[in-house]
Structure 1
Amino acid sequence: MLELLGLSSLAERLYQAVLTDPARGVAALARDTGMTDQQIRSALDELADLALIRPSAHADGTLWPVSPAVGLSALLAAAEDEAAAKQRQIEATRTAIAALAAEHEEHRHHRAEAAIRLDSLDSVRGRLEELAANAVTECLSLNPGGAHRPDARAASAQLNEQALRRGVSIRAICRESFRNDPDTLAHARWLTDLGGQMRTVPIVPTPVVIVDRRVAIVPLDPADPRHGALEVTSPGMLAVACALFDQLWATATPFGSTVAVDEQGLTTAERTLLELAAAGHTDEAAGRKLGISARTVKRQMADLMARLNAESRFQAGVRAAHRGWL
């Protein structure tokens, strides 16, 4: 209990024993406390260094405990002074960090008017970490695919927790197919348990991260994030990115909810698959957009054809259109 004041557990136990009966010698203290002679002598040295015992004024060669109201209060006052000095150092460091960050941000904005090119995956990740650490109101993201592995979750856990504790809203949109991936499903549970929100749609058109609706990170090549990204601050481009997110969020299915069906008995994913097939996408192409395998696409199309009582995909398209499914 008194470790904060610099007392070890043995010294604290001995101090309490000495306060109870100051006249006991080493042998009696060893018997009553269960400590060895060496432990007692070491603890006595510790108490003496902390000015919690002092030579007796009445018996030469003996020690007398200092009252807790005096000795411990003095140690507590010293600890408070040390903590106050440490807090002043922390505040000075925080001020220095804020000044350095502001200078860095000003330098970044001088380099470009509307967009800054982030040429590598490392620079993208580093900038996302900066933005997350300084987010004030919300972090929004569109996530087309890719499992959230345990190491990736661990890397972002602290920043997400800190942001949520500051009152920052975290909202993420993922593909419906993520429910089939254990790692990404674990990430969704982890995020929502922290207080974040996640919703799903059949197709996420492109990866985007939006912070406080004042900056967006968009990939140079949506198919390969290794090519880097653009940091966008142009009001017009931000308006487009935010509108895309808001539209998808309004129609997306909250994580943990049962996938809804419409008046025709179709899920959003099934209707999207029919639209892709009608547009001429192959099973492989449709699977890439939906985040599922070509085999799964074939199985789902077979089920839809059976429900439409169609013998071919062409016939299925005609009957789907006739029923208002398209």
Structure 2
Amino acid sequence: MLEALGLSATDESVYLTMIAQPTLDVAGLADHLHIDQSQVHRALDTLAGLALIRLDGPGGTARAVRPKTGLAALLTRVEADIAVRQRQIEAARTAIADLATTHEQQEVAIRLEGIETVRERLDELARTATVECLSFTPGVAQPTDTLQSEAPLNAAALERTVRIRNVYQDSFRNDPATLAHARRMAALGSESRTVPTLPMRMVIVDRSIALTPIDPQQPRLGALELRSPGLVAALLALFEQVWEQGIPFGDSPGKPSTALGPQEKALLRLYAAGHTDESAARQLGVSARSVQRLMNSLTDRLQASSRFQAGVEAARRGWI
């Protein structure tokens, strides 16, 4: 009945049972519904993420929010999300129409097959850039040979007063080679920031040419070189939005004792969206073991006994 609001059959059963029998704890809910306690915990995590349950005070028991309040608010959020999605679809429709029209007039997308072809094209663009070079670099640290090959090209571009801005993932701060490269480039005038997650690998040159992967999951297959003004403008807007959220490389991404760091906030949001340890690790560019350690640290800091309780407690404190 409530699948359209993001609830599974188990989530719905747990929620309705908590309304009907508010005194049941996790074990009681599991017995009543004839399911494992682990299933109850997962359902509670989902319900907490949807603001359908809350804790009665620090360390208190979870209680269901009344349907008239909780479900009505959730329905409003879902309707708003649908409206946003519809606007995005319309924007995509416009972009597709723009691409189709432009393609009839000129070649707007050049397929660059293979990683070596992409590197050669990036070398050409770095040598001819006159205004600005922007990039997203997600995933694991770049190979040393890639950093070494980029360094002289970037240095030459900076000497020509070309502005260079790079966005990496926070996990790159743990890689000595990447840090050393960023510091060398910073000394020459390049700017670098980090964020917990990035949508894809991307390079934009002189606000007129963009390179994006043919397949974001397999970047070594090659890239698409895009020249459509509409598409490049959309990618520029995406870059600027992420750039504003980034932390400069010279600053620490650490957190004050009374708040969560960007990576911790991103992890909680990924869990709330249904990601597993493995998929959250891929999004953050770290190992699954690192994600588990980070979550264990979070539950310890929040004095929580489960991920669900950690999320509720973080929300209660206004940390997320």
Band the TM-score falls in, shorter-chain normalisation:
0.5 to 0.7
Query: In the alignment, is residue 183 of structure 1 matched against residue 177 of structure 2?
Result: yes
Partner of residue 146, structure 2: 152
Q: Secondary structure at the match of 1:185?
A: helix
1:260-291 CA-partner distances (Å, limit 9, x unpaired): 54795111111111111111211111111111
Query: In the alignment, is residue 213 of structure 1 matched against residue 202 of structure 2?
Result: no
- Which runs of 5 or more structure 2 residues have no equivalent in the other structure? 1-102
Aligned partner letter, 2:294: Q
Query: In the alignment, is residue 297 of structure 1 matched against residue 306 of structure 2?
Result: no
Q: Pick from 119, 122, 144: which aligns with 1:125?
A: 119
Query: In the alignment, is residue 271 of structure 1 matched against residue 228 of structure 2?
Result: no
Report deviation, 1:127.
Answer: 1.2
1:1-326 map, 5 Å: 112-259=106-253, 261=255, 264-326=258-320
- Which runs of 5 or more structure 1 residues have no equivalent in the other structure? 1-108
Cα 1:268/1:133, change in 2 over 3 Å = same
CA distance in 1: counterparts of 2:241 and 2:190, whole angstroms: 19
Counterpart contact for 2:259–2:319, Cα < 8 Å: no
Partner of residue 48, structure 1: none
Counterpart contact for 2:134–2:203, Cα < 8 Å: yes
CA distance in 2: counterparts of 1:122 and 1:302, whole angstroms: 41
Aligned partner letter, 2:243: W
Aligned partner letter, 1:186: A
Counterpart contact for 1:214–1:238, Cα < 8 Å: yes
1:206-227 CA-partner distances (Å, limit 9, x unpaired): 1100001000000011121121
Report deviation, 1:308.
Answer: 2.2
CA distance in 2: counterparts of 1:243 and 1:262, whole angstroms: 30
Aligned partner letter, 1:259: P
Aligned partner letter, 1:243: A
Partner of residue 74, structure 1: none
Report deviation, 1:162.
Answer: 1.2
Report deviation, 1:307.
Answer: 2.3
Q: Give the TM-score normalised by structure 1.
A: 0.63
Q: Give the TM-score normalised by structure 2.
A: 0.64
RMSD: 2.0
CA distance in 2: counterparts of 1:194 and 1:265, whole angstroms: 34
CA distance in 1: counterparts of 2:201 and 2:133, whole angstroms: 13
Aligned partner letter, 1:198: S
Counterpart contact for 2:140–2:286, Cα < 8 Å: no
Q: Percent identity?
A: 53
Q: Secondary structure at the match of 1:266?
A: coil
Report deviation, 1:204.
Answer: 1.2
| Higher RCO (CA-CA < 8 Å; seq separation 6+) | 2
Counterpart contact for 1:148–1:187, Cα < 8 Å: no
Cα 1:263/1:115, change in 2 over 3 Å = farther
Counterpart contact for 2:115–2:220, Cα < 8 Å: yes
Paired residues, number: 218
Partner of residue 51, structure 1: none
Report deviation, 1:112.
Answer: 4.8
Aligned partner letter, 2:311: G
**Aligned structure 1 segments of 4 or more residues deviating by more than 4 angstroms:** 109-112
Aligned partner letter, 2:127: A
CA distance in 1: counterparts of 2:116 and 2:243, whole angstroms: 29
Counterpart contact for 2:139–2:282, Cα < 8 Å: no
Aligned partner letter, 1:173: V
Structure with the greater alpha carbon radius of gyration: 1
Counterpart contact for 2:140–2:171, Cα < 8 Å: no
